[in-house]
Amino acid sequence: MVTSDRRSEYRPNSPSRRRVRRPALWFNLLILLSGVAVLAGAWQHRLRLDAKFDRIVRTHAASPYPLAKIRSDLASMELSRESLDRELTGRLAMTRSFDAAEFYLAIDTSSHKLRLHFGPEIVREMDVVIGEPRVVTAEGKRWQFVPLKGGVTVIGKLVDQPWEVPAWAWAMRNAPIPKVPAQVPGGLGKYVVLLPNGYVIHSPPSADSPLAGAKPGSFMIAEDQMRAIWPRISATTRVYIY
């Protein structure tokens, strides 16, 4: 029986049966190890991100917005140790009212805003004019008005009360001081909130008053704004000035 070996024949149109050479084993291992290294690096990166996010969450949980804002504001101020203690005491006292279900007032002297709060919520916000601190002298007498900072409690409210004009109000205008104190209707404003040590929050004085604008060291807001918050202010209302 005769057989033919056709494997040696030349067939130009037939596909080649020669096998593709396999890559070396070391090359396969190198690719595998590279993939494992990439996966390990990605996993470590994810763990670092998770740890960083967890620290951020814990920081914000321990430092709610009011405290974070206090830190930011105090850090931007140039204060002596005594001034810093006073600022911090006043602001921390205000944060304790955030959890109380009650109305209170906050006066931001840097932005010239007065805000009515109920607990942590701002119910109403308005512009406030802050009376400039000053020293007034006349007829051998001296009156000094210094800025008020910290937390105080309202001690009274006046509405449509005449104002017995003090001597310093005339002296501020370089006007002669009457021998008998004058009573001026609305001289300090239609609405007056009394604070300790002679400080007040008042609406604009009447046209007949010698006082033009805010009382030195005190605070003045528009009459319509005062009318809006008036029912929410009582003799127990806290006021925080910072």
Q: How is domain 76-241 classified at the CATH fold level?
A: L,D-transpeptidase catalytic domain-like (2.40.440)
Sorted by sequence, the CB contacts under 8 Å of residue 188 that are 6+ apart come out as 158, 163, 200, 202, 205, 209, 211, 215
The reported pLDDT for the residue numbered 93 is 58
* pLDDT tens, per residue, the chain with 242 residues: 555 555 555 555 555 555 556 666 776 777 777 777 777 776 776 566 556 545 544 544 444 445 555 555 555 555 555 555 565 566 555 555 554 458 899 999 999 999 999 888 889 999 999 999 999 998 889 999 999 998 999 999 999 999 999 999 999 998 999 989 899 999 999 999 999 999 999 999 999 999 999 999 999 999 999 999 999 999 989 999 98
| Whole-structure pTM value | 0.61
| Cα distance between residue 51 and residue 57, in whole Å | 10
DSSP class of residue 12 equals: T
Sorted by sequence, the CB contacts under 8 Å of residue 108 that are 6+ apart come out as 114, 115, 242
Scan for tokens 């033009």, then name that residue: 212
| Cα distance between residue 54 and residue 49, in whole Å | 8
The reported pLDDT for the residue numbered 54 is 54
Q: Are 59 and 71 in contact (CB under 8 A)?
A: no
| Cα distance between residue 185 and residue 161, in whole Å | 6
Sorted by sequence, the CB contacts under 8 Å of residue 200 that are 6+ apart come out as 188, 192, 193, 194, 215, 218, 219
Backbone conformation region of residue 152, classed left if phi is above 0, alpha if psi is from -120 to 50, else beta: beta
**Three-state secondary structure call for residue 49:** helix
Q: Please provide the DSSP assignment of 184-201 as one string.
A: EETTT-SEEEE-GGG-EE
**Three-state secondary structure call for residue 90:** helix
